Amino acid sequence: MLMRQKEFSQQVDVYLKTAHVVHRGIRNIATTIDAVGQGTLRVPVTINSSERCNSWICSPYTTYVSYAAEELERFGHPLYTKPLSFLCQMLGNLLLSARIDDTVTVNNWLVSTNCYPEAPIKTVNGWIEESVSRWPSHAIWFRSLNRRYTSEWLSALTAAGCILIPSRQVYLFDCIQANARTPKNLRWDFALLDQWRNRRSDANTWNSADYVQAEKLYGKLYLEKYSKLNPQYTSTLLSAWSNAGLLSLIGYRSANGELIAVIGMLELDGTVTAPIVGYDTSLPQRLGLYRLLMATIFERAAETGQRVNLSAGAAGFKRLRGGIPEIEYSAVYSRHLPAVRRHVLSALSILARRIGEPIMRKYEL
């Protein structure tokens, strides 16, 4: 545990040294980056004060209203779309009146999935107390929690007085093995990976044009195909995180040498995530570029013995490769806030647990 804490702390230090790049490195982020805690138990935090047009990774309003409305449109289920869209609109007005985006998000790395260190309960309480003392008018949020990988955190945070708000369904992989015991779809993906090895291009060989192309490829998938509410990472930030050793960027080139697929992996406390995934969506699907990128992260996990959190989306694809669905939660501490704001957060929690969570589970969202 002490070794993991030390490694996590070193990565926190690297991340904080690149914090000055974020303001020009993520186009749709307006936030302040700081830290709470001491020594090897220090973590980054983001501080927001109702800035508008923020990505969901630092805006609860965008998560539970704007992004939810877009998901409902894509979902298109006639039984749910209209009534839930109306509910989102009504909820949005209520959340704005309660200053939902006056938030401090603890352990926020400004990626879709935050990983957590092993930490005793007293550390959790200390982070909350420090955050409340420094930002007394803000709710204290912890994102990216699930019962499989962060059950101790959920228990500690609820014991400290946090309420839980479901956000999405993610897919987890406990143990990846590159052998005959893996699901057949995963074996096929590893075979595809072997076919592309001579086209692989790690970021330590890239020039500035490659980082620009990586930004474009990420944008084609996450911004154009999915939502512009996803973080809009720029080549500036990709380069800074890669050069600092925080993000492992791997690309694949076409026959003429152009990058056509890219994945960026973040490895924290024994878990691998992929905040950067992108490929040329105009190319034929038979090339299997998405499969290729997922095989890259699976191979990394198999080599290092790490588990994988593949975030949300592409549910069928991930289930066929052994992905375990888990509901992801935010834990929110608001006991120091006025009663009206506390009641609104409690109402959001009830609605998300009683309506949102069953729909996520049933329709694999």
Over the Cα atoms of the chain, what is R_g? 20
- Tens of pLDDT along 306-332? 999 999 989 999 999 999 999 999 999
The beta-strand segments (E) located in 198-336 are 200-202, 248-253, 259-268, 271-279, 307-309, 324-333
Kindly report, residue by residue over 285-309, the tens digit of the pLDDT: 999 999 999 999 999 999 999 999 9
Alpha carbons 57 and 44: distance in angstroms, whole number: 14
Secondary structure percentages of the chain, helix, strand, coil, to 5: 50, 20, 30
Query: Dihedral (C-alpha) 160, 92, 170, 148: value to the nearest 10 degrees?
Result: 20
pLDDT digits 0-9 by tens, 27-49: 999 999 999 999 888 999 999 99
pLDDT (tens digit per residue) in 120-131:
788 999 999 999
Dihedral sign (CA 275, 280, 285, 287): negative
Per-residue pLDDT of 200-257, as tens digits, reads 999 999 999 999 999 999 999 999 999 999 999 999 999 999 999 999 999 999 999 9
Higher pLDDT, 82 or 264: 264
Q: What confidence tier does 180 reach under pLDDT thresholds 50, 70, 90? A: low
Distance, in Å, from the CA atom of 64 to the CA atom of 347, rounded to the nearest integer, reads: 12
Average pLDDT estimate for 146-156: 95
Q: How many DSSP H helices and E strands does the chain contain?
A: 14, 11
Do residues 116 and 273 lie in contact, with contact meaning Cβ atoms separated by under 8 Å? no
Task: Let me know: does 27 contact 229? Beta carbons within 8 Å.
Answer: no
The percentage of the chain sitting over the pLDDT mark of 70, rounded to a whole number, equals: 96
- At residue 92, the pLDDT reads 87
The answer for residues whose C-beta is within 8 angstroms of residue 9's C-beta and 6 or more apart is 39, 40, 41, 42
Task: Answer for the pair 298, 308: CB distance below 8 angstroms, yes or no.
Answer: yes
- Point out which residues pair with 49 in neighbouring strands: 102
Question: Is 135 a residue whose pLDDT tops 80?
Answer: yes
Percent of the chain surpassing pLDDT 90: 81
- Give the predicted TM-score (pTM) of the model: 0.94
pLDDT band at 183 (very low <50, low <70, confident <90, very high): confident
| Cα 289 to Cα 42, 164, 180, 213, 229, distances in angstroms | 38, 37, 23, 16, 24
pLDDT of residue 82: 72
Q: pLDDT band at residue 355, thresholds of 50, 70 and 90? A: confident
- pLDDT at position 265, please? 98
* Biggest alpha carbon–alpha carbon distance for the chain: 62
Encoding tokens for residue 258?
Answer: 């152009």
Give the number of other CB atoms < 10 A from CB of residue 297. Answer: 24
> What is the phi/psi pair of residue 35, to 5°?
-150, 155
CB 263 within 8 A of CB 297: yes
How many residues does this entry show for the chain? 365
Euclidean distance between the first and final Cα of the chain, in Å?
34
Tens digit of pLDDT for each residue in 53-111?
899 999 999 999 999 888 877 766 666 677 777 777 888 899 999 999 999 999 999 99
- pLDDT at 359 (0 to 100): 83
pLDDT at residue number 78: 67
pLDDT averaged over every residue in the chain: 93
